[in-house]
Amino acid sequence: MDKLKELYFKYKEIVNYLIVGGLTTVVSLSVYFICVSTFCDPTSPLQLQVANVISWVAAVTFAFFTNRKYVFESTGKNIWAEAGKFYISRLSTLGIDMLIMFITVTVLGMNDKVAKLIVQVVVTITNYLFSKYLVFNNKNP
């Protein structure tokens, strides 16, 4: 048990990041399923995308607050600046996700499920690096 505690504290930030990421996925899926089972019709392309965007916004908002407090333990005073950088970084990785999916699936003909798994690894690592070094670096008061 002591070895497990030692490993946790050694890799606390990464472990907490992965836990928060798992919870963020639950938030995203829950909000999406609530949307499509109450007020969005998933057979309508527009309403499907509305549900998807609402779930993305809810998930990124949840991720911002939980990453700020539990992962990176930010003490930055300007929460709005951090939030802006967080949303911009997440939009950037959404663009990376879409670009890699386009290249691997559309251009190279890779299986979309395999490509999505690869993309998730790239996006998770990139989100972590952006959050650690660009958003919650605590260099700005």
The model's pLDDT over 56-81, given as tens digits with 9 standing for 90+, comes to 999 999 999 999 999 999 999 999 99
Nearest 5°: CA angle at 50, between 47 and 51?
A: 90
- Report the candidate in 25, 23, 132 with the shortest Cα–Cα distance to residue 85: 132
Tokens of 117: 């798994």
Q: What is the mean pLDDT of residues 84-89?
A: 97
pLDDT at residue 67 in the model: 97
SS3 75: coil
- Report the candidate in 18, 37, 41, 19 with the shortest Cα–Cα distance to residue 29: 37
Q: How far apart are CA 111 and CA 48, in angstroms?
A: 23
pLDDT at residue 141 in the model: 46
Alpha carbon 90 to its chain centroid, in Å, reads 7
Half-sphere exposure in the Cβ direction for 110 (13 Å, CA): 16
Half-sphere exposure in the Cβ direction for 58 (13 Å, CA): 18
pLDDT tens-digit series, residues 112-141:
899 889 999 999 999 999 999 999 986 544
pLDDT tens-digit series, residues 25-50:
999 999 999 999 999 998 898 998 89
Domain layout of the chain by residue ranges: 1-73, 77-141
Predicted model pTM:
0.87
